[in-house]
Amino acid sequence: MSSFWQQTRQIYDRLLCGSKHSAEVVAESLRRRAAMQKLAARIRGLNRERSRLIRSIGKKVYSLHTRGQVRNRDVLSDCVRIDEAGQEIEALQEQIEELRREAVAGEELVVKVEDEAPVTEEPEEEAGAVEPPEPSGEELVMETEGEAPVAEEVQEEEGEVGPWEEQGPQPQMGE
């Protein structure tokens, strides 16, 4: 029986020793990873600072170029390319603006209407409210899809029947 307990004790000691060793290995691995992460964070910070300084130097050199104080041919060629890119950007922006102006000029923004009545019921008139003007009898142009423009005169006299009334009553909004 004692050999059984001795064997059990040996197995337990090996497991305990193995567990301690495994824990030590894991702890060492975590410590190394943490150290690497700290170093990588420091590298990222230094790279950001370096990039910021390079941009700052570039801005200073380009500022000197705008004053004609750059003599190094390599740097000067880069500065000239920056100038060319800026001019190209301005030309492209002008083309965009021209296309916008053409689009707006081609659109008819104001359409003449025959009926000046409001589209919806308005609340009681407030003090100082201005009523819309009455139809003036001017010639109106109505364009419909697929047809040529048709000119109609507004009929001022009462009792005259318009083409829309010959067809019977027209449906009202909301019906």
**pLDDT tens digits in sequence order for the chain, 175 residues long:** 578 888 888 887 777 777 777 888 889 999 999 999 999 999 999 999 999 999 999 999 999 999 999 999 999 999 999 999 999 999 999 999 999 988 877 666 666 778 888 888 766 655 555 666 665 555 555 555 544 444 444 444 444 544 444 445 555 555 4
Q: Look at residue 24 and tell me if it is in a domain.
A: yes
In a domain, 13, yes or no: yes
Output the pLDDT for position 175. Answer: 45
List the one residue out of 175, 174, 172, 152 whose CA is nearest residue 163: 152
In a domain? residue 132: no
Number of compact structural domains in the chain: 1
Domain membership of residue 145 (yes or no) is no
The pTM score is: 0.43
User: 57 by DSSP, 3-state: which?
Assistant: helix
Which domain does 49 fall in, by range?
8-54
Look at residue 167 and tell me if it is in a domain: no
Report residue 175 as tokens.
């019906």
> Within a domain: residue 144?
no
Q: Within a domain: residue 19?
A: yes
Q: Is position 40 within any domain?
A: yes
CA-CA-CA-CA dihedral for 130, 135, 138, 142, to nearest 10: 100
